[in-house]
Amino acid sequence: MVGVIDEAQLFYPLGTRIKIGNNYGTVKYVGEVNGHCGTWLGIEWDDGLRGKHNGMVDGKRYFQTRLPTAGSFIRPGKLGPCATLEDAARERYLNYDSKNVDTSLIREAQASMQASLFEVVGMDKIARKQSKFEQLSEVSVDETPVNAAGYLKDLSQLTTLNVSHTLIWNWEIVASITQQLPLLNSLNLSSNRLLLPTDKQVVELAPSFRHLKHINLGNCGFTNWQDVVQTAQLWPDIESLSLQENALSQLAEVDCTKIFRRLRELDLHRTKLMDFDQVCKLGNISTLCVLNLIENGIEQLQLPDCEPQSKLNMFVSLEQLSLMHNPIWNETEAFNELDKLPQLKRLNKTPHLKSNFDEMFSKAVASIAGLQVVNKAKVTPEQRRGAEYDIWKKYALDWLQATKLGADALREFYKKHRTYLGIVNKYGSPADFVPRIQVKPSNLIKVRIQDRQTGEVWEKKVPRMITVQTLQGLIMKRFRLGEIPKLCYIDAKYPELVVRLENNAKTLDFYSVQEHDTVLFE
């Protein structure tokens, strides 16, 4: 019995990954179970509902699982064979098993036949496949039972490797792979469970990862940020790191002299980072350019305080931020906070339920001075002028009241509307709009409608709440147009401002069209 147990422990050391059907698990115990003969493997399943217990059976603790029904016992004989990366890659890309090829017999046959017919008929096809295999730059063996490297020297051109959903379970295995692939720069290890490297292993294995630039550790079971920090010491100069779908709700500031020294991209989507204060703890990563926070349940964005016309000394290189599918309840405040970031140029965000893309786009462009792209839509100079023009008029009364109350009140106003001073400097005082806000406007406004090509003008009184689509219909009828015209308007007081009326479901009032403004069509 002892020999059998020792053999099982040899083949399945604690931490080994196993797979039965579509279910993955980790070996947590090897040995006997009271009341049952033979050797058993105690498994903690990735699917917390796959097991029957938490590692305790009949009052005896054999191992501990994170979830109450993630554990079960299985016989070693129930497990299928594992594979090396070499064999899995050959099987997937060459469709043959190297075990079935006896190289010594081939050499003997070639020698006895002086490499004539056998070489021409039998080996040329394999050689052609082999040459293609050696030229592969990308290999994916996801969802295969790989748990060892094998001989990988034939993959000397490999730059990208996907070993997600495999049975790789420690960093020694990973190092034995990367050591043999000198050109490898992108490694996908997602949906594996890797033992935490010790300090000694970090020192010994780190040289094996020096050439890597991109690592994907999504859904790898991380729940403690310190475990990420410990692991990251293996590759301190990594440029892109994916940690998506790891349950990381708490972060901590990192020592950028030891890790993340060149980190440019960080993916933290679906990581349970509901508190944006936790995200701010990463603000000292000075090289970070792209940050993905999609679908984290973030409701509010708040950055440290700074003067209205200053930028924060954090996230100093951050140019792209993804906030899609977060229930941020106050877009205006969120965009005002994001203006504190010194380099933010690209923003991805889902509109609030009570908003839409056009409204969100306008708010974001007006509130974040350096913004260039929103959800892949480039900000044109006309769109920026229109967005700034809207906010210029919207907060005119608040700005005027703040100026009358003194410097402190004006400073508080600029803290809430960080871009407003720049807008005032660009377009002048918005005081002329205050009477329009204070006096109830007429329901009708008189506008000049002008054909851009012919110059023909039609003066018409229209309701403020008329939609762009209805106005397009009136213009088509009056000017006998065959196609729906494109509209824009010029403000009567500030003719340098040209605003496109792009959403035909919006009203003229939405676009702030006023008495005597000119609507151009073409």
pLDDT one-digit tens code per residue, 430-457: 887 665 545 556 788 999 999 999 999 9
- pLDDT over 80 (residue 212): yes
Question: For 455-476, what is each residue's pLDDT tens digit?
Answer: 999 999 999 899 999 999 999 9
**CATH number of the domain at 132-385, please?**
3.80.10.10
Distance CA 117, CA 278 (A): 69
What is the pTM assigned to this prediction? 0.75
Q: Which CATH number fits the domain 444-521, given the four candidates 3.40.50.1100, 3.10.20.90, 3.20.20.70, 3.30.2130.30? A: 3.10.20.90
E strand map for 311-443:
320-323, 346-349, 373-374, 377-378
Sign, Cα dihedral of 358, 364, 366, 372: negative
Higher pLDDT, 243 or 495: 243
- pLDDT over 50 (residue 127): no
Q: In terms of Cα–Cα distance, which of 238, 268, 231, 230 is closest to 250?
A: 268
3-state helix, strand, coil in the chain (%, to 5): 30, 20, 50
- pLDDT over 60 (residue 123): no
Distance CA 211, CA 204 (A): 16
Distance CA 354, CA 70 (A): 41
Name every residue whose Cβ is closer than 8 Å to that of residue 26 and which is 6 or more positions away in sequence. 15, 16, 17, 18, 43, 44, 46, 169, 193
Predicted local confidence at residue 118, as pLDDT:
38
Name every residue whose Cβ is closer than 8 Å to that of residue 491 and which is 6 or more positions away in sequence. 389, 497, 499, 514, 517
Predicted local confidence at residue 166, as pLDDT:
95
Distance CA 83, CA 81 (A): 7
CB 349 within 8 A of CB 374: yes
Which residue intervals of the chain bear CATH 3.80.10.10? 132-385
CB 173 within 8 A of CB 149: yes
Higher pLDDT, 81 or 298: 298
Question: For 355-387, what is each residue's pLDDT tens digit?
Answer: 899 999 999 999 999 999 999 999 999 999 999
Predicted local confidence at residue 22, as pLDDT:
86
CB 327 within 8 A of CB 345: no
Cα distances (angstroms) measured from residue 321 to each of 129, 268, 375: 44, 11, 10
Burial of 307 (0-12, 13-18, 19+ CB in 10 A): exposed
In this structure, how many other beta carbons lie within 10 angstroms of the beta carbon of residue 201?
Answer: 17
Name every residue whose Cβ is closer than 8 Å to that of residue 224 and which is 6 or more positions away in sequence. 248
Provide the pLDDT confidence category of residue 110 given band limits of 50, 70 and 90: very low
Higher pLDDT, 103 or 345: 345
- Span of 66-75, 104-113, 192-201, 221-230 with lowest mean pLDDT: 104-113
Distance CA 182, CA 208 (A): 9
Distance CA 195, CA 172 (A): 10
Average pLDDT over residues 280-292: 98
Question: Could you identify the residue written with the tokens 């469970």?
Answer: 193
Predicted local confidence at residue 101, as pLDDT:
45
Name every residue whose Cβ is closer than 8 Å to that of residue 381 and which is 6 or more positions away in sequence. none
Predicted local confidence at residue 352, as pLDDT:
86
Name every residue whose Cβ is closer than 8 Å to that of residue 495 and which is 6 or more positions away in sequence. none
Name every residue whose Cβ is closer than 8 Å to that of residue 131 and which is 6 or more positions away in sequence. none
Percent of the chain with pLDDT over 90: 69
For the chain, give the mean pLDDT.
Answer: 88
Predicted local confidence at residue 354, as pLDDT:
78
Distance CA 25, CA 3 (A): 25
**What strands, in cross-sheet order, belong to the sheet with 17-20?**
17-20, 23-33, 36-45, 71-74
- Span of 31-45, 277-291, 320-334, 357-371 with lowest mean pLDDT: 31-45
Question: For 139-156, what is each residue's pLDDT tens digit?
Answer: 999 999 999 999 999 999
In this structure, how many other beta carbons lie within 10 angstroms of the beta carbon of residue 341?
Answer: 21
- pLDDT over 50 (residue 4): no
Which residue intervals of the chain bear CATH 3.10.20.90? 444-521
Long-range residue pairs from 352-355, CB within 8 A, at least 24 positions apart, any chain: 352/328, 355/331
CB 227 within 8 A of CB 197: no
SS3 label, residue 338:
helix
What is 483-498 written as a DSSP string?
SPPPEEEE-SS-TT-E
Q: Which CATH class is domain 8-78?
A: mainly beta
Which residue intervals of the chain bear CATH 2.30.30.190? 8-78
